[in-house]
Amino acid sequence: MFTVIGERINTTLKKVKAAVAERDVAYITDDVKKQEAAGATYIDVNAGARIGCEEEDMRWLLSVVQEATTLPLSLDSPDPAILEMAYGLVTKKPLVNSISLEKDRFDPMMNFLKGKECRILALCMDDSGMPGSVDDIFNRAKLLVEKLEGIGMKRDDIFIDPLIQPLSVATGNGVMAMEAVARIMTELKGVHTTGGLSNVSFGLPQRRLVNRNFLAMMMARGFDSAIMDPLDSELMAVLTTGLALKGEDNFCMNYLKGVRAGRIKA
């Protein structure tokens, strides 16, 4: 099963930030319902953009989002205290976004995670900065898995983010991500891989086209989750088609349903 983490309820987006500031329930509810209908598995909730308001905004968003959907949530914050608060407010097992190997983040997050019933998104970042090679990514992923298993987390609850970097910065960044995913999924069996899909196209024109092609190529390497926009119908069509090609859609039933419903077009 491919896990779609719907990325749209994020206050770094201007319309969402305005809706949160104005406590516009209708706007948030409509967006969440659209993401669910489009095939999201989780709704990511990030309230960090309004300085000094994250706790209050997160509480409000969690209330509104959970009223709008039956889907589980991805709790997205760099602050372990916010995640602790949010964890106490959710009604379904959440995906916690995120932990990394950066010491200031790693130790508080490990304390937070002990005994929690949740899934975790683990970033391949440490105090030396962004990874610069496939070996960097894999070694960090392996250490994260070892540490998380050490506190009782199951591999099925661990989502490794290789930190997809823009092609506009270095032309090898796409290949690095693809090779890292292939290695993680081969050598760390049982974990999942995910990441911000659109990071690869930052700084380029026609970003959605880049994202769609990248998703197909990443899926061929074993990528089984993405932080993405489920309202990009053509991106979701690539996902459905890719799952059929990978043999993960019995008798191509989901593909055929998508074609008949007009969601998949030539």
Q: How confident is the model at residue 46 (pLDDT cuts 50, 70, 90)?
A: very high
Model confidence pTM above 0.95: yes
Instruction: For residues 158 and 226, state if they share a domain.
Output: yes
Question: CA dihedral in degrees (105, 1, 237, 233; nearest 10)?
Answer: -50
Instruction: For residues 62 and 14, state if they share a domain.
Output: yes
State how many domains the chain has: 2
Instruction: For residues 239 and 213, state if they share a domain.
Output: no
Q: What is the per-residue pLDDT across 170-219, written as a single tens digit (0 to 9) for each?
A: 999 999 999 999 999 999 999 999 999 999 999 999 999 999 999 999 99
Instruction: For residues 243 and 197, state if they share a domain.
Output: no
**pLDDT above 90: residue 164:** yes
Mean pLDDT of the chain: 97
**pLDDT above 90: residue 41:** yes
Q: What is the mean pLDDT of residues 36-50?
A: 97
As a whole number of angstroms, the distance between CA 86 and CA 50 comes to 17
Question: What pLDDT, on the 0 to 100 scale, is given for residue 11?
Answer: 98
Question: What pLDDT, on the 0 to 100 scale, is given for residue 97?
Answer: 97
**pLDDT above 90: residue 39:** yes
CA 181 to centroid of chain Cα atoms: 14
Instruction: For residues 175 and 224, state if they share a domain.
Output: yes
The CATH number of whichever domain residue 202 belongs to comes to 3.20.20.20
Instruction: For residues 180 and 259, state if they share a domain.
Output: no
Q: What is the per-residue pLDDT across 101-154, written as a single tens digit (0 to 9) for each?
A: 999 999 999 999 999 999 999 999 999 999 999 999 999 999 999 999 999 999
Instruction: For residues 33 and 68, state if they share a domain.
Output: yes
**pLDDT above 90: residue 266:** no
In sequence order, the 6+-apart residues with CB closer than 8 A to the CB of 123 are: 98, 99, 100, 161, 163
- The string of DSSP codes covering the chain is --EEEEEEEETTSHHHHHHHHTT-HHHHHHHHHHHHHHT-SEEEEE--SSTT-HHHHHHHHHHHHHHH-SS-EEEE-S-HHHHHHHHTT-SSPPEEEEE-S-HHHHHHHHHHHTT---EEEEE--BTTBS--SHHHHHHHHHHHHHHHHHTT--GGGEEEE-----TTT-TTHHHHHHHHHHHHHHHSTT-EE--BGGGGGTT-SSHHHHHHHHHHHHHHTT--EEEE-TT-HHHHHHHHHHHHHTT-SGGGHHHHHHHHTTSS--
Instruction: For residues 168 and 237, state if they share a domain.
Output: no
Q: What is the per-residue pLDDT across 78-92, written as a single tens digit (0 to 9) for each?
A: 999 999 999 999 999
Instruction: For residues 168 and 247, state if they share a domain.
Output: no
Q: What is the mean pLDDT of residues 228-252?
A: 97
Provide the percentage of residues in the chain whose pLDDT is more than 90: 99
Instruction: For residues 143 and 239, state if they share a domain.
Output: no
Instruction: For residues 47 and 89, state if they share a domain.
Output: yes
Question: What pLDDT, on the 0 to 100 scale, is given for residue 55?
Answer: 97
Instruction: For residues 32 and 67, state if they share a domain.
Output: yes
Q: What is the mean pLDDT of residues 157-174?
A: 98
Q: What is the mean pLDDT of residues 25-54?
A: 97
| Residue 258 belongs to domain spanning | 233-266
